[in-house]
Structure 1
């Protein structure tokens, strides 16, 4: 099999549960080779699929863990990086905000994706597609992100992720940098009342990411392809 016809290699963070697990399964079913990065690879279980899924250790909020993953993947081309790992943190308002919690959410949701993208840039440049997909949220939107919930840290982290993704695309035109709102997904984080099931969101995101073109860099879209307000 020539390099041009090999299945794409897709690295997904937070891939052992929720939307991340659904994304890993969706990409594998589409024929991709999936590197499923998560804190506890031993706990990651996946249904049979058309592609291969390889669990790898990663604590997305730990710079040392990010560096270790990059070292382990030295020389491994990565076609698509999906920065999906995220935490919600405390959901209260300004009166109950704790600096430690705020910092932890920012470390996982904003700084982590930036550091991982930097660390894996050589791998992405060795790949054919060179796509970086950030799983953001409507909570990070200046026009759509306000509701009665508190979530100061989560909102701030996703807003930071949005602007950093735009900056990455500006600084590195050799990468296609994308932002996605997956919807209100029925996962442990989203809760049972959420309106989109994980498989539906993952399948929609997979189609969009696999179809991404360089001119799509800097776009912010919902899981179904509709544009998101900034």
Structure 2
């Protein structure tokens, strides 16, 4: 999990850096949530014994997981409507800045 977390931290920093270095480009780091996929189903079975049980529960809980179309709509709205004021931000799929677009 450590390398995964480190890669996400690096992407967030790259997003913030690009926002400063390339002001004419809108860059956004997007968190889609725990999306219901075959991979998350596989994780629930195969992840036991390899990952923190609390992390597996969080990623596979039916209350936490969303269908792919939910973050997909957020990405679509950001691509079509997000202005320069969004650049450099880290946004969750259910953030009001995403859902209000």
Measured against the shorter chain, the TM-score band is 0.5 to 0.7
Matches within 5 A, 1:63-74: none
Partner of 2:20: 170
1:11-67 CA deviation, whole Å, 9 max, x = no partner? xxxxxxxxxxxxxxxxxxxxxxxxxxxxxxxxxxxxxxxxxxxxxxxxxxxxxxxxx
Work out whether 1:184 is the aligned partner of 2:34: yes
Paired residue total? 77
Unaligned ranges ≥5, structure 1 = 1-150
Runs of 4+ with >6 A deviation? none
Partner of 2:86: 216
- In structure 2, distance between residues paired with 1:162 and 1:155: 11
* Contact 2:27 2:87 (C-alpha < 8 Å) held by counterparts: yes
* Contact 1:208 1:225 (C-alpha < 8 Å) held by counterparts: no
As a proportion of its length, which structure holds more strand? 1
Instruction: Answer 1 or 2: higher relative contact order, Cα 8 Å, separation at least 6.
Output: 2
Q: Secondary structure at the match of 2:4?
A: helix
Q: Secondary structure at the match of 1:179?
A: strand
Q: Secondary structure at the match of 1:189?
A: helix
As a proportion of its length, which structure holds more helix? 2
* Contact 1:205 1:224 (C-alpha < 8 Å) held by counterparts: no
- In structure 1, distance between residues paired with 2:12 and 2:2: 16
Residue 184 (structure 1) shift? 0.6
Matches within 5 A, 1:8-157: 151-157=1-7
Residue 163 (structure 1) shift? 0.2
Unaligned ranges ≥5, structure 2 = 45-59
- RMSD of the alignment, in Å? 1.9
Superposition TM-score, scaled by structure 2 size: 0.66
* Contact 1:179 1:219 (C-alpha < 8 Å) held by counterparts: yes
- In structure 1, distance between residues paired with 2:95 and 2:14: 21
